[in-house]
């Protein structure tokens, strides 16, 4: 049974029967796209200003449209605006409120425009600002990591490959690895913003408009780099949404990897770090528990964001040019991506400011597992032994250590010389953890001196980007 809608539509002229009430609710987007109202109004003010400049509207009409839109915005800001589902989306809600307020001039706002170029513009205006916020949030987290790296520039921990102890590294160096990952994320978002900052307005429904519009002027008013080159592309392109979500997915993949490390490191088996109580919760049954909920939840949230990327790619793959209603489905995944990204970055920046390091635990873990075996091989190479032979000699020494439950530094000089007469009593200096990390003293290496130099460069990069230095 049809339940006809009770309200008249802007397109009612062509129709003989009212919209079915369920179809009306099913096709409406106002419940979520109302979030774009500021950008919708900003775009409309620029459009009306351009129309008046080209003589398409009078200056009086423009003034009344601008004042009316501003008052609609104030009402929405104040929460007193009544959103209407029959009016379908944010665009028609705003336009209808405007017309109610100022009369006929309101009906002229849509001259030379379509909701197709309007929505494509609104989403770009909104996302552009969100990208700026997200890039700042990334920089805040980076700044927290640099501060932590500075505090722990000399702290020795085991470095892992295959999650097996590999070689000692400094904790500061490890934090700066995360910094680099985030630096690329920040760069990817800047690239995406640059490509996105092109204005669809003027494309109208798909082919352009018959009015003598000035697209360059509207673009300038809205801070776009230029108008989109092709009207069909302008209304149907959602590459920017996909590109943004792809950058977001990579960023979440990074946060998920950090989370995995923090979860391991804060377990009693590792005990390398302790997360502040404010970022953990207890168990309702096991009194001893302190669970790393925040990193776990961030790791979990990566799933939905990867999903949004797949969702948007699938949304677009079958669409012929130009606009199709399918595109209305771009908003919820974008909104959810932005919200969860910002939330994850914020909580991470705060959490990383309060991470406590257990230097003793890290050091003793690094002292186990023969982490300086490569240093011993390098020592033999310096004594003239080819690396492959040195590798085998050290392998045998490690074998003895494994059988006897002793680390390399705990073998006697005589025992070591049993594997190679080239070993002398200066060997013990290279078997220490401090000697091992200090020896990796080149750009990108783990030596504390290199970590300090890298911290200086990292701070300079953040300062170049206009990020306030927290440290």
Segment interacting with ligand ARG, rule: CB under 6 A, options 54-62, 319-327, 353-361, 368-376:
319-327
At 294 the three-state DSSP class reads helix
Q: Which helix (H) or strand (E) holds 353?
A: helix 331-353
Q: Which of 119, 249, 305, 362 touches ligand ARG by CB under 6 A? A: 119
User: Could you tell me the smallest distance in angstroms from the CB atom of residue 28 to ligand ARG?
Assistant: 8
Q: Which is nearer to ligand ARG, 50 or 87 (CB)?
A: 87
Q: Bridge-partner residues for 156, per DSSP?
A: 170
**Which is it for the CA torsion 345, 349, 350, 356, positive or negative?**
positive
Which positions from 296 through 315 interact with ligand ARG, judged by CB under 6 A?
Answer: none
- CA-to-CA dists, residue 467 to 132, 192, 244, angstroms: 12, 19, 21
Q: Which is nearer to ligand ARG, 325 or 442 (CB)?
A: 325
Spatial distance between the Cα atoms of 389 and 381, rounded to a whole number of angstroms? 9
Query: How wide is the angle at C-alpha 257 spanned by C-alphas 254 and 260, nearest 5°?
Result: 155
User: Could you tell me the smallest distance in angstroms from the CB atom of residue 113 to ligand ARG?
Assistant: 11
Options 58, 267, 276, 283, the catalytic residue: 283
DSSP state of 377: H
At 138 the three-state DSSP class reads helix
User: Could you tell me the smallest distance in angstroms from the CB atom of residue 33 to ligand ARG?
Assistant: 6
Should residue 122 be labelled a site residue for ligand ARG when binding is judged by CB under 6 A?
no
What residues have CB less than 8 Å from 240, skipping those under 6 apart? Answer: 124, 127, 192, 195, 196
Options 6, 162, 278, 442, the catalytic residue: 162
Environment class of residue 12 by beta-carbon count within 10 Å: exposed (0-12), middle (13-18) or buried (19+)? exposed
User: Could you tell me the smallest distance in angstroms from the CB atom of residue 339 to ligand ARG?
Assistant: 18
268 is catalytic: no
Should residue 113 be labelled a site residue for ligand ARG when binding is judged by CB under 6 A?
no
User: Could you tell me the smallest distance in angstroms from the CB atom of residue 90 to ligand ARG?
Assistant: 8
Should residue 89 be labelled a site residue for ligand ARG when binding is judged by CB under 6 A?
yes
Should residue 110 be labelled a site residue for ligand ARG when binding is judged by CB under 6 A?
no
Q: Which is nearer to ligand ARG, 91 or 128 (CB)?
A: 91
DSSP state of 79: T
Token reading at 180? 């680099």
Phi, psi of 149 (to 5 degrees): -60, -40
Segment interacting with ligand ARG, rule: CB under 6 A, options 73-81, 195-203, 321-329, 430-438:
321-329
Q: Which of 259, 266, 328, 450 touches ligand ARG by CB under 6 A? A: 328
Q: Which of 5, 19, 29, 420 touches ligand ARG by CB under 6 A? A: 29
- CA-to-CA dists, residue 346 to 136, 144, 255, 342, angstroms: 10, 11, 12, 6
Segment interacting with ligand ARG, rule: CB under 6 A, options 114-122, 136-144, 306-314, 369-377:
114-122
Should residue 115 be labelled a site residue for ligand ARG when binding is judged by CB under 6 A?
yes
Q: Which is nearer to ligand ARG, 327 or 372 (CB)?
A: 327
At 471 the three-state DSSP class reads coil
Segment interacting with ligand ARG, rule: CB under 6 A, options 67-75, 111-119, 311-319, 450-458:
111-119
Q: Which of 325, 388, 403, 442 touches ligand ARG by CB under 6 A? A: 325
DSSP string of 95-135?
A: HHHHHHHHTHHHHTTTTT--HHHHHHHHHHHHHHHHHHHHH
Q: Which is nearer to ligand ARG, 9 or 359 (CB)?
A: 9
> Smallest Cα–Cα separation from 159: which of 439, 441, 454, 433?
433
DSSP string of 166-192?
A: EEEEEHHHHHHHHHHHHHHHHHHHHHH
User: Could you tell me the smallest distance in angstroms from the CB atom of residue 4 to ligand ARG?
Assistant: 20
162 is catalytic: yes
Q: Which of 99, 121, 142, 327 touches ligand ARG by CB under 6 A? A: 327
Count of residues interacting with ligand ARG (CB under 6 A): 10
Q: Which is nearer to ligand ARG, 122 or 407 (CB)?
A: 122
Should residue 96 be labelled a site residue for ligand ARG when binding is judged by CB under 6 A?
no
Please check whether residue 93 is in contact with residue 29, taking contact to mean a CB–CB distance below 8 angstroms: no
Q: Which is nearer to ligand ARG, 312 or 451 (CB)?
A: 312
Q: Which residues bind ligand ARG (CB under 6 A)?
A: 29, 33, 89, 115-116, 119, 323, 325, 327-328
Active-site residue list: 162, 283
């Amino acid at each position: 049974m049809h339940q006809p809608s009770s309200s008249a539509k802007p397109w009612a002229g062509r129709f003989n029967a009212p919209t079915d009430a369920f179809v009306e609710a099913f096709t409406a987007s106002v419940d979520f796209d109302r979030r774009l109202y500021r950008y919708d109004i900003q775009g409309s003010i620029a459009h009306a200003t351009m129309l008046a400049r080209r003589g398409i509207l009078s200056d009086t009409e423009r003034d009344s449209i601008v004042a009316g839109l501003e008052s609609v915005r104030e009402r929405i800001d104040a929460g007193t605006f009544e959103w209407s589902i029959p009016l379908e989306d944010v665009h028609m809600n705003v336009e209808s409120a405007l017309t109610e307020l100022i009369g006929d001039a309101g009906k002229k706002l849509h001259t030379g425009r379509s909701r197709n170029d309007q929505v494509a513009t609104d989403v770009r205006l909104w996302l552009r600002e969100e990208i700026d916020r997200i890039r700042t949030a990334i920089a805040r987290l980076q700044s927290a990591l640099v501060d932590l790296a500075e505090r722990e520039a000399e702290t020795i921990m085991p470095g892992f490959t295959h999650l097996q102890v590999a070689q000692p590294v400094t904790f500061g160096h490890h934090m700066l690895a995360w910094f680099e990952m985030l630096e690329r994320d920040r760069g990817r978002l800047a690239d995406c913003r640059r490509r996105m900052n092109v204005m669809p307005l003027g494309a109208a429904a798909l082919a352009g408009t018959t009015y003598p519009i000035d697209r360059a002027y509207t673009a300038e008013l809205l801070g776009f780099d230029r108008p989109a080159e092709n009207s069909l592309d302008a209304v149907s392109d959602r590459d920017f949404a996909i590109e943004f979500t792809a950058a977001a997915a990579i960023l979440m993949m990074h946060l998920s990897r950090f989370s995995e490390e923090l979860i391991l490191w804060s377990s009693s088996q590792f005990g390398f770090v302790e997360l502040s109580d404010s970022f953990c919760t207890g168990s309702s049954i096991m009194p001893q528990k302190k669970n790393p909920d925040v990193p776990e939840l961030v790791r979990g949230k990566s799933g939905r964001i990867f999903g949004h990327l797949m969702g948007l790619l699938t949304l677009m793959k079958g669409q012929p040019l130009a606009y199709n209603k399918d595109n209305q489905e771009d908003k919820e995944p974008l909104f959810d991506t932005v919200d969860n990204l910002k939330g994850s970055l914020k909580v991470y920046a705060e959490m990383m400011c309060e991470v406590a390091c257990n230097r003793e635990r890290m050091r003793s873990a690094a002292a186990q597992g023969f982490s300086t075996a490569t240093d011993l091989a390098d020592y033999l190479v310096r004594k003239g032994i080819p690396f492959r032979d040195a590798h085998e000699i050290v392998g045998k020494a490690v074998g003895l250590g494994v059988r006897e439950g002793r680390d390399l530094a705990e073998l006697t000089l005589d025992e070591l010389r049993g594997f190679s007469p080239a070993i002398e009593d200066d060997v013990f200096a290279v078997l220490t953890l401090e000697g091992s990390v200090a020896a990796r003293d080149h750009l990108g290496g783990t030596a504390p001196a290199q970590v300090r130099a890298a911290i200086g460069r990292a701070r300079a990069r953040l300062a170049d980007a206009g990020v306030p230095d927290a440290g």
